[in-house]
């Protein structure tokens, strides 16, 4: 039994040639409806009582029919057919298509197939049509592809496979393209699948023919008598033929693996020359270059390149296509071309950038070094103005030189100008004229030599010489000033001894003493800058030393600045002068405070830096060794770049007049350098400043401890031991008097008289001499009966070290004390080895002088 509603119900597959039963279905529906209406009208004429049995019977029959159809639909005996399959337009397109088409239901039954499908699957009639999996079930080459297609059909996905069907009669077989996709987008429609099969054998044959032709072309290109290569915009070799690879002694497989760049096979700056081509967007440009290629062995080979480059619509260059012709044979066969080859090699490998320019300064041609220079400055190269490489403030100098060359003027003086760019770079330009008869486009030849490194070295040397000169000046001033201060302090001591604290003038005398002490501090800063002060180094733990400074630093920086001390673990010992190290930290802390007027944070951090870590640091001039680093960082205003290199210069200050001497950081620099350390600064405006101090690690060695609290005692090799601070009073002694004859040698008459008076007041016999020659005469007059010589170091006619040597020849046991405004290091190299002496730095007080004399008289010798 077949029932038809809005959808046709079919049991058998619909063949491509069968007509649609749409018209019959509609007539049957109308006939059934008319019958039902006639039965209803007839029953109405019988009356309700008589018609009731008939109505129940008809309802029972309809119920049985409906129940039967429900069971038949559930069992699949009858089903609804989609109207879209019966669309006449779609049906004709599908029926006459070149590709085989078939529609399967969810169970895999074919509900539609066209004639091409029957032909491709070998079906003889519509009744013999089979789904794809049944058609190719026995072919092992196709079974895996069909399985993937079936899986996609069940999952409602699209899938495509290309398979090769072997021929049964020994023929080559054929290629098929199989596709499957879900039918429609609705939930019910998606259960159907559309299969298509296309014969692509001819397309495959054409592809194989094209591939074979391409293989022949590549084979020809690889073994052509010329070289070929291609470079991508990143500078990497995308292709190299076998001929060029053989020339360069490379293996093709090695080049194909990637990683080889244009700069690896081009000698010198030739790679910059090739990448300097510029053109308008969309243009294809070919340039000819005579350069040297670099072989794998490092040898060079002269070649001529025909470099073809296409530019995209955005002006970006695409991959190049370059023909390479070896010119090595030209050097052997043609003398004229050999000379040309040699000239081009000289032209491109010269260390100077060379370019020919027209009257407007536009580059006509350039060598490889100029191309590299232009790229380094971020400029385009050929056909661009040479003036773009020059800073605007110096551009007029080169314009004038080129104008002179265009007018035929010879002997144009070279000009040195600043180059364009973010970093400071300099170049020297040599301009020579070109004969206009030879080439009207070229007006001048410009040779450019970059002088950035030379200028930097000259500035460094000048700065070093300036600092050395200032250091010598500061040291000389300090020496003379120390003599004056010594006289002031000695006379001040006499006044203090002559006045009691109750005297009205006692406070004035104390004020003189305090000002003299401040002056002595300023002199020590000058000596620290010139690295000629006397240091008293001792082994020190920086963590403990900084902890002792904490309270002082907090008072100095104030409440608005927070102090953080971060100590490294197990810090190595260092050997420094404690008071000088404290001065370094205090000076840096005060500068940090001044850089944070609104408050901030001061961080002092310590850490060990091993040799291997020191070698990785980017600080110039610091050799790899073990160091202890002290970092003093603040969150202040920072240091501008233009003054960062000047902060360690003496008397340089950014503070207002009267608020700084400009010796703070120069003193820090001198102390660190004299200690054997290094100091560097990192700073950016608005981001704070960090000073990094590197002090060498001290390795303990067995030393003989000699107690000499009053002076510096030199050993046989001149090494300095302990010394008494110049500005601190010696510890009170119960008895500073003594006996003996002292020869006092001092060229400053006033200071000599005061020193002699002080020594005589303590019971000593003093013999005075103005210089070394007079001192030798006094020694003869006293018949050598001199117990101690107190001598200045720097004197006219005969200096202190020479006097020491001469007197020791006459009396090897004579005792010596040197006094000087210089540090001992300034003259100890002039002393003969094995000599022993004491040293007392100026300025000193009366009590320090007599204490040193008595200590030497009792212990030396």
Give the DSSP per-residue string, 440-480.
Answer: TT--EEEEEEE-HHHHHHHHHHHHHHHHHHHHHHHHHHHHH
Instruction: Name the class of domain 532-696.
Output: alpha beta
Task: Please check whether residue 830 is in contact with residue 540, taking contact to mean a CB–CB distance below 8 angstroms.
Answer: no
Q: Which residues pair with 304 in a beta bridge?
A: 290, 325
- Please state, as a whole number, how many other Cβ atoms lie within 10 Å of the Cβ of residue 442: 19
Write out the DSSP string of 605-623. Answer: EEEEE-HHHHHHS--TT--
Task: Please check whether residue 710 is in contact with residue 856, taking contact to mean a CB–CB distance below 8 angstroms.
Answer: yes
- Dihedral angle at the C-alpha atoms of 406, 411, 414, 420, nearest 10 degrees? 10
Domain 350-526 has CATH 1.20.1050.10: no
Q: Tokens in use for 35?
A: 């019958």
**SS3 assignment, position 306:** strand
**Closest CA relative to residue 664, chosen from 521, 516, 532, 844:** 521
Query: DSSP code of 730?
Result: P
Burial class from Cβ neighbours inside 10 Å (0-12, 13-18, 19+) for residue 821 reads buried
Burial class from Cβ neighbours inside 10 Å (0-12, 13-18, 19+) for residue 663 reads buried
**SS3 assignment, position 600:** strand
Query: DSSP code of 362?
Result: B
**Mean per-residue pLDDT pooled into runs of 10, the chain (861 residues):** 36 42 64 79 74 79 81 67 56 78 87 86 81 80 85 88 75 82 64 88 86 80 82 82 84 69 78 70 78 82 83 77 75 68 72 82 80 70 71 86 84 86 81 70 84 80 68 65 77 78 80 77 60 65 84 85 88 84 86 88 92 84 89 88 71 48 67 85 87 88 41 34 37 65 86 85 88 87 85 83 86 85 62 75 81 80 48
Q: What is the 3-state secondary structure (H, E, C) of 167-184?
A: CCCCCCCEEEEEEEEECC
Domain 92-205 has CATH 3.30.450.20: yes
Residues 6+ apart with CB under 8 A from 281: 311, 312, 313, 314, 315
Task: Please check whether residue 372 is in contact with residue 269, taking contact to mean a CB–CB distance below 8 angstroms.
Answer: yes
Helix axes 772-781, 800-810, angle to 10 degrees: 20
Burial class from Cβ neighbours inside 10 Å (0-12, 13-18, 19+) for residue 532 reads buried
pLDDT of residue 172: 66
**Closest CA relative to residue 431, chosen from 371, 377, 352:** 352
Query: DSSP code of 261?
Result: B
**Closest CA relative to residue 192, chosen from 175, 180, 179:** 180
- Dihedral angle at the C-alpha atoms of 717, 720, 721, 724, nearest 10 degrees? 150
Q: Tokens in use for 854?
A: 């008595």
Q: Which residues pair with 179 in a beta bridge?
A: 160, 196
Q: Tokens in use for 786?
A: 């001199």
Q: How far apart are CA 112 and CA 6, in angstroms?
A: 19
- Please state, as a whole number, how many other Cβ atoms lie within 10 Å of the Cβ of residue 276: 23
Residue 385 backbone phi and psi in degrees, to 5: -70, 135
Label residues 359-384 b or e (16+ Cβ within 10 Å = b): eebbbbebbbbbbbbbbebebebbeb
**Closest CA relative to residue 9, chosen from 385, 542, 579, 24:** 24
**SS3 assignment, position 717:** coil
Q: What is the 3-state secondary structure (H, E, C) of 4-60?
A: CCCCEECCCCECCCCCCCHHHHHHHHHHHHHHHHHHHHHHHHHCHHHHHHHHHHHHH
Domain 224-326: give its CATH architecture.
2-Layer Sandwich (3.30)
pLDDT of residue 248: 84
Q: How many CA atoms lie within 13 A of 328 on its CB side?
A: 9
Choosing among 3.40.470.10, 3.40.50.150, 3.30.70.270, 3.40.50.2300, the CATH entry for 741-858 is: 3.40.50.2300
Lay out the sheet containing 193-199: strands in order across: 110-113, 100-104, 193-199, 174-182, 159-165
pLDDT of residue 608: 92
Q: Is there a common fold for 350-526 and 741-858?
A: no
* E strand or H helix at 73: helix 48-75
Domain boundaries, the chain: 29-81, 92-205, 224-326, 350-526, 532-696, 741-858
Q: How far apart are CA 442 and CA 386, in angstroms?
A: 13
Residues 6+ apart with CB under 8 A from 228: 221, 239, 240, 241, 243, 244, 321, 322, 323, 324
**SS3 assignment, position 539:** strand
Burial class from Cβ neighbours inside 10 Å (0-12, 13-18, 19+) for residue 634 reads buried
Q: How many CA atoms lie within 13 A of 245 on its CB side?
A: 18
Task: Please check whether residue 764 is in contact with residue 853, taking contact to mean a CB–CB distance below 8 angstroms.
Answer: yes
Q: How far apart are CA 545 and CA 541, in angstroms?
A: 6
Q: How far apart are CA 87 and CA 22, in angstroms?
A: 10
């Amino acid at each position: 039994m077949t029932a038809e509603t809005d959808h046709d119900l079919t049991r058998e597959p619909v063949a491509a040639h069968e007509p649609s039963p749409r018209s019959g279905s509609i007539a049957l529906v109308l006939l059934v409806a008319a019958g039902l209406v006639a039965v209803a009208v007839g029953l109405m004429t019988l009356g309700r009582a008589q018609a009731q049995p008939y109505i129940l019977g008809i309802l029972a029959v309809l119920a049985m029919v409906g129940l039967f159809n429900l069971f038949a639909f559930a069992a699949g005996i009858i089903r609804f057919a989609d109207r879209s399959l019966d669309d006449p337009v779609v049906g004709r397109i599908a029926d006459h298509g070149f590709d085989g088409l078939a529609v399967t239901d969810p169970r895999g039954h074919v509900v539609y197939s066209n004639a091409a499908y029957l032909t491709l699957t070998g079906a003889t009639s519509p009744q013999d049509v089979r789904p794809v999996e049944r058609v190719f079930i026995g072919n092992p080459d196709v079974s895996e592809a069909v399985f993937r297609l079936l899986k996609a059909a069940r999952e409602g996905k699209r899938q495509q496979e290309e398979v090769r069907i072997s021929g049964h009669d020994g023929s080559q077989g054929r290629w098929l393209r199989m596709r499957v996709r879900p039918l429609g987008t609705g939930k019910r429609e998606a259960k159907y699948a559309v299969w298509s099969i296309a014969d692509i054998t001819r397309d495959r044959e054409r592809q194989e023919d094209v591939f074979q032709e391409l293989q022949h072309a590549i084979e020809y290109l690889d073994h052509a008598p010329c070289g070929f290569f291609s470079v991508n915009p990143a500078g990497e070799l995308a292709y190299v033929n076998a001929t060029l690879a053989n020339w360069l002694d490379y293996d093709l497989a090695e080049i194909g693996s990637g990683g080889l760049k244009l700069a690896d096979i081009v000698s010198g700056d030739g790679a910059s020359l090739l990448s300097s081509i510029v053109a308008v967007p969309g243009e294809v440009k070919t340039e000819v270059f005579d350069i040297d290629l670099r072989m794998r062995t490092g040898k060079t080979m002269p070649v001529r390149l025909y470099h073809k480059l296409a530019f995209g619509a955005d002006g970006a260059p695409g991959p190049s296509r370059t023909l390479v012709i070896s010119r090595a044979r030209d050097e052997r066969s043609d003398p004229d071309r050999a000379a040309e080859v040699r000239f081009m090699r000289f032209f491109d490998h010269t260390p100077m950038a060379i370019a020919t320019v027209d009257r407007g300064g536009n580059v006509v041609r350039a060598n490889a070094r100029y191309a590299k220079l232009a790229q380094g400055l971020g400029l385009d190269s050929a056909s661009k103005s040479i003036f773009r490489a020059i800073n605007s403030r110096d551009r007029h100098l080169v314009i004038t030189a080129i104008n002179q060359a265009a007018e035929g003027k010879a002997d144009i003086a070279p000009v040195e100008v600043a180059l364009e760019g973010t970093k400071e770079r300099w170049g020297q330009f040599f301009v020579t004229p070109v004969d206009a008869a030879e080439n009207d486009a070229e007006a001048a030849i410009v040779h450019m030599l970059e002088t950035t490194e030379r200028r930097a070295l000259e500035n460094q040397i000048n700065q070093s010489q300036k600092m050395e000169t200032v250091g010598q000046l500061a040291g000389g001033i300090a020496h003379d000033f120390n003599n004056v201060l010594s006289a002031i302090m000695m006379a001040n001591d006499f006044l203090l001894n002559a006045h009691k604290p109750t005297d009205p003038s006692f406070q004035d005398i104390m004020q003189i003493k305090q000002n003299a002490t401040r002056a002595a501090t300023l002199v020590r800063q000058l000596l620290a800058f010139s690295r000629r002060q006397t240091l008293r180094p001792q082994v020190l733990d920086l963590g403990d030393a900084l902890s002792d400074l904490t309270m002082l630093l907090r008072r100095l920086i104030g409440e608005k600045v927070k102090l953080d001390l971060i100590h490294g673990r197990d810090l190595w010992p260092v050997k420094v002068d404690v008071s000088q190290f404290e001065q370094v930290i205090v000076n840096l802390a005060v500068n940090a405070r001044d850089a944070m007027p609104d408050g901030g944070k001061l961080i002092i951090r310590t850490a060990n830096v091993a040799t291997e870590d020191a070698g990785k640091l980017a600080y110039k001039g610091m050799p790899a060794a073990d160091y202890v680093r002290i970092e003093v960082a603040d969150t202040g205003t920072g240091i501008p770049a233009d003054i960062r290199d000047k902060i360690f210069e003496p008397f340089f200050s950014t503070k207002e007049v009267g608020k700084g001497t400009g010796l703070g950081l120069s003193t820090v620099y001198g102390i660190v350098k004299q200690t054997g350390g290094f100091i560097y600064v990192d700073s950016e405006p608005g981001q704070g400043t960090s000073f990094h101090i590197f002090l060498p690690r001290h390795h303990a060695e067995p030393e003989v401890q000699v107690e000499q609290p009053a002076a510096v005692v030199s050993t046989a090799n001149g090494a300095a031991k302990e010394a008494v601070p110049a500005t601190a009073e010696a510890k009170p002694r119960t008895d500073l008097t003594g006996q003996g004859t002292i020869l006092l040698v001092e060229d400053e008459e006033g200071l000599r008289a005061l020193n002699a008076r002080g020594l005589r007041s303590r019971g000593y016999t003093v013999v005075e001499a103005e210089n070394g020659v007079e001192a030798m005469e006094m020694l003869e007059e006293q018949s050598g009966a001199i117990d101690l010589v107190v001598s200045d170091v720097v004197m006219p006619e005969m200096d202190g070290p020479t006097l020491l040597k001469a007197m020791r020849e006459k009396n090897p046991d004579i005792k010596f004390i040197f006094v000087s405004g210089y540090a001992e290091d300034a003259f100890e190299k002039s002393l003969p080895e094995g000599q022993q002496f004491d040293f007392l730095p100026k300025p000193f007080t009366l009590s320090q002088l007599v204490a040193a004399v008595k200590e030497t008289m009792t212990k030396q010798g």
